[in-house]
Amino acid sequence: MNDRDHGQCVIDETLTEYLEGSLDPAIKAASEVHLLSCQPCRGRLAFFMHVLQPEVDSEESVALRAISAEWDKRKENNLPLRPRVSGLFMAIAAVVIVLVGVSSVWMARQGAEPESAEEIVTLLLEQNRPFEARLAGQPHLSIERTRGTGETGVSYTLLAGEMTRLSANSHEMGRFYLLEKEFRKAIPYLEIAEREVGASAAVHNDLGVAYLEDGNGSHHNKAESEFLHALQHDESFAAAAFNLALFYERSNSTAQAKAQWKRYLELDSESDWAREANERLQGLSR
Amino acid sequence: MADNVRRFRWKKSGEVSAPDLVRECGEKLTDRELWRQFQERFQGLIFMYVMRSLRLRMIQDDVTGIVPDLAQEVYLKLVQHEGRVLRSFKGTTEFSVRAFLAKISASVVHDYQRSAGTEKRSAQVVPIDYMAAAESQAKKSTEAPEFDSSQLSSILSWIDMERVIEGEPDRKNARRNALIFQLHYINGFESGEIARFPGFGLTKSGVQAILTRLRKRIQA
C-alpha cells in the first residue's frame, strides 16, 4: 500500500478526534484508510495514545510527585525561570500569574508583579517604541518600523482589564492606549487628564503625542499647542522639547525644526535621545 | 464502551464540566476563581502530558527540573493573543479537554526540542512507533503465548493489509480492525490500552477477539 494513494496526512486534531470518536463517519473512514498505509501518521496516533493513557504507572507517579514538589518549591522560593521566556511574555504573565496563583514562579525574573497601572505602562514602554514621538518618562529604543502592535505578543485586552483593576487614572489609561496605538481611545482619556486642575507637563506632552501620531489632520496643529503648554509648565521638560522639534519637522518648517533640535540638545546632549536628535538635525542640515 | 467513557470522566458532582471550564477561562481570562479551578483540575494532567511527551521524544533532560518550566509555557500558550488557543476549543467531552491539553503540551515539548537543538540528537535514535514496537517485542505477549508476535510485527510491513481488510467479515469496521491489528503488533499497544479510547468503540475483550481473528487469518 502506498500512502501517496491514500490522501493527505492526518492533522493532530483529527487524530485526537478519532480517538475520541467524534469524527464525522466519512472523515473517520478516510482517516482509517490513510492511517493503515501511512506509518508517520500512525506513529503520531500512537504518540497521542501513549500520552493520553489514563493509567499512571508507579514510575510516572513518583516522577509526578517530584514535579509537583518542584513546582511548589519554586512557588515558595521565587526560584527563577529559565531565560527562554521572552520579556514581552512577562507583561502577560504579570496578569495571568496572579490569576492562576503561581505568581511567584512566573514573576521571578521580573522581581514582583506590577503593583500599579504606571508599572504596567513602564513595562510596555521598556519593550516597545510604537512611534517616533516621545512619551513622558519613555526610555530610548530604536524604532522598529516594520513591527505593528499586533506582532508584539502582548495581550492588550488582558492588560486593559488589569489596568482597570489597578485603578489606572485617566493619564495612565491614555498612555496605555497610546502604546497600543488606539488613538480613538487614548485621546479622550488624555483630554480628561489635561482638563484636570494642575495637569502636569507630562500630561500635556502625552496628549500632544496622541495628536501628533494619530494621523488625523485636524489634530495635527493641536499637538504644537500641547507641547508648548508642557514647556510652559517646565521649560526643561526634554520630551516636549523633542516632540516640538519633531512636530516642526513633520510640518516642513525646517528652520523652526532645526532651531528646536538645537534647543533640545542644549537640554540633553548625552542620552540616546540626544544622539537621535543630533542625527535628525544633521539630516535637516544636508 | 460505557466503561471506556466512564474512565475519562473526572468531574466532581456540582462542578462545572471540564469543557465548560476551558471555554469560560477563554472568555474570562482575568477571572481568578476560574483559573484556580483550572489549575486545580488540569495542572496534574499538564505535568503528565509534558512528561510523557518528553519521554516519547527521547529527551533525556531532568524531567523534574524541566516539566515545571514547560508547564508554564503551556499556560502562556493558552492565554497569549487574548486567549486565542483557549477560545479555539470546541470540544464537548471530558476526553476532548484531555486531548486539547495533550496537543498543547506536545507542541510545547516539540518547540522545546527544536529550540534546545535536541532534534539532531533524537534523529539518531529510533522513532516513537519503532520504539513502541521494540517494547512490544521485548515483552512476550501475554495474550497469545503460543504466538511469536515479534515475527508477525516484522512481516506486517509487507503484508498486504488490503487483503486482510477484504477478508474481514465485519465489513463495516474492517479498516478500524486492521488499524487495531497494526497498533497492537507494530505500535505495541495492549488490547486494554486500545480499548481505553472511545473512538474504537470496543471493550478489552472486543479488541482481543479482533486480534485473535485477524491473527488466525494471517497465519492460515
Higher pLDDT, A230 or A185: A230
Residue A65 lies in a domain: yes
Same domain, A89 and A203: no
* DSSP character at residue B186: T
d(C-alpha B102, C-alpha B89), whole Å? 13
Chain B residues 138-157 within an 8 A CB cutoff of chain A? none
User: Which residue on chain B is closest to A37 by alpha carbon?
Assistant: B161
pTM over 0.95, yes/no: no
Same domain, A195 and A176: yes
d(C-alpha A48, C-alpha A14), whole Å? 11
pLDDT score recorded for residue A49: 96
Q: Model confidence over B142-152: pLDDT tens digits?
A: 444 444 555 55
CB A136 within 8 A of CB A122: no
CB-based contacts of B143: which residues, under 8 Å, 6+ apart?
A: B190, B191, B208, B211
Q: Model confidence over A188-234: pLDDT tens digits?
A: 889 888 887 788 999 999 999 999 999 888 888 899 999 999 999 99
N-terminal to C-terminal alpha carbon distance within chain B: 31
pLDDT score recorded for residue A157: 66
Same domain, A123 and A179: yes
Residue A93 lies in a domain: yes
CB A20 within 8 A of CB B93: yes
Assess A155–B contact: CB distance below 8 Å, yes or no: yes
Identify the weakest region by mean pLDDT among A99-113, A122-136, A162-176: A99-113
Same domain, A129 and A268: yes
Burial profile B172-184: b = 16 or more Cβ within 10 angstroms, e = fewer: ebbbbbbbbbbbb
Q: Model confidence over A125-151: pLDDT tens digits?
A: 888 888 999 999 999 988 754 344 444
* DSSP character at residue B132: H
Assess A89–B contact: CB distance below 8 Å, yes or no: yes
Same domain, A277 and A141: yes
When the pLDDT of each residue in chain B is averaged and rounded to a whole number, the result is 78
Residue A125 lies in a domain: yes
Higher pLDDT, A75 or B205: B205
What's the per-residue H, E or C state across B90-113? CCCCHHHHHHHHHHHHHHHHHHHH
Same domain, A145 and A222: yes
Q: Which of B101, B64, B74 is nearest to A59 (CA)?
A: B64
Same domain, A98 and A33: no
**Taking residues A33-40, what's their average pLDDT?**
90
Q: Which of B4, B34, B201, B17 is nearest to B94 (CA)?
A: B17
d(C-alpha B153, C-alpha B134), whole Å? 10
pLDDT at B8 over 80: no
Which of A69, A86, A106 terminates a domain? The answer is A106
pLDDT at A93 over 70: no
pLDDT at B52 over 90: yes
Q: Model confidence over A246-275: pLDDT tens digits?
A: 999 999 999 999 999 999 999 999 999 999
pLDDT score recorded for residue A91: 42
Of residues B32, B56, B198, nearest to A20 (C-beta): B198
- Tell if the CB–CB gap between A67 and B199 is shorter than 8 Å: no
Give helix B63-87 / helix B18-27 axis angle, nearest 10°: 70
- Tell if the CB–CB gap between B72 and A19 is shorter than 8 Å: no
CB A47 within 8 A of CB A55: no
Angle subtended at Cα A210 by Cα A207 and Cα A216, rounded to the nearest 5 degrees: 125
What's the per-residue H, E or C state across chain A? CCHHHCCCCCCHHHHHHHHHCCCCHHHHHHHHHHHHHCHHHHHHHHHHHHHCCCCCCHHHHHHHHHHHHHHHHHHHHCCCCCCCCCHHHHHHHHHHHHHHCCHHHHCCCCCCCCCCHHHHHHHHHHHCCCCCCCCCCCCCCCCCCCCCHHHCCCCHHHHHHHHHHCCCCHHHHHHHHHHCCCHHHHHHHHHHHHHCCCCCHHHHHHHHHHHHHCCCHHHHHHHHHHHHHHHHHCCCCHHHHHHHHHHHHHCCCHHHHHHHHHHHHHHCCCCHHHHHHHHHHHHHHC
* Complex prediction ipTM: 0.79
Burial profile A48-85: b = 16 or more Cβ within 10 angstroms, e = fewer: bbbbbbeeeeeebeebbeebbebbeebbeeeeebeeeb
pLDDT score recorded for residue A143: 75
* Residue B119 pLDDT level (bands cut at 50, 70, 90): very low
Same domain, A102 and A216: no
Assess A163–B contact: CB distance below 8 Å, yes or no: no
* Residue B159 pLDDT level (bands cut at 50, 70, 90): low
- Tell if the CB–CB gap between B79 and A96 is shorter than 8 Å: yes
The pairs formed by A132-135 with CB atoms below 8 angstroms and a separation of 24 or more are A132/A213, A132/A246, A133/A208, A133/A209, A133/A212, A133/A213, A133/A242, A133/A243, A133/A246, A134/A205, A134/A209, A134/A239, A134/A242, A134/A243, A134/A273, A135/A175, A135/A178, A135/A179, A135/A205, A135/A206, A135/A209, A135/A239
CATH of the domain at A174: 1.25.40.10
* Residue A14 pLDDT level (bands cut at 50, 70, 90): very high
Question: What domain count does chain A have?
Answer: 3
Which of A51, A76, A91 terminates a domain? The answer is A51
Q: Which residue segment(s) compose the domain that A162 sits in?
A: 117-285
- Tell if the CB–CB gap between B106 and A48 is shorter than 8 Å: yes
Residue A111 lies in a domain: no
Residue A160 lies in a domain: yes
N-terminal to C-terminal alpha carbon distance within chain A: 72
Residue A112 lies in a domain: no
Q: Model confidence over B58-77: pLDDT tens digits?
A: 887 788 989 998 998 898 88
Highest-scoring range by mean pLDDT, A92-96, A149-153, A188-192, B168-172 = A188-192
CB-based contacts of B170: which residues, under 8 Å, 6+ apart?
A: B177
Burial profile A205-237: b = 16 or more Cβ within 10 angstroms, e = fewer: bbbbbbbbbbeeeebbebbbebbebbbebbeeb
Q: Model confidence over A41-81: pLDDT tens digits?
A: 999 999 999 999 988 888 888 899 999 888 888 776 655 44
Identify the weakest region by mean pLDDT among A17-31, A127-141, A216-230, B161-175: B161-175
Contacts of A106 in chain B (CB under 8 A): 72
* Residue B16 pLDDT level (bands cut at 50, 70, 90): confident
Same domain, A136 and A204: yes
Identify the weakest region by mean pLDDT among A91-95, A155-159, B142-146: B142-146
- Tell if the CB–CB gap between B76 and A67 is shorter than 8 Å: no
Assess B99–A contact: CB distance below 8 Å, yes or no: yes
Q: How far is CA A231 from CA A188, B56, B155, B219, in A?
A: 22, 64, 85, 93
Same domain, A172 and A84: no
Same domain, A156 and A270: yes
Q: How many residues does chain A have?
A: 286
pLDDT score recorded for residue A163: 74
- Tell if the CB–CB gap between A89 and B80 is shorter than 8 Å: yes
Same domain, A47 and A70: no
Residue A73 lies in a domain: yes
Higher pLDDT, B147 or B207: B207
* Residue B35 pLDDT level (bands cut at 50, 70, 90): confident
Question: Cell numbers at residue B188, please?
Answer: 505495541
Contacts of A66 in chain B (CB under 8 A): 64
d(C-alpha A131, C-alpha A149), whole Å? 11
Residue A170 lies in a domain: yes
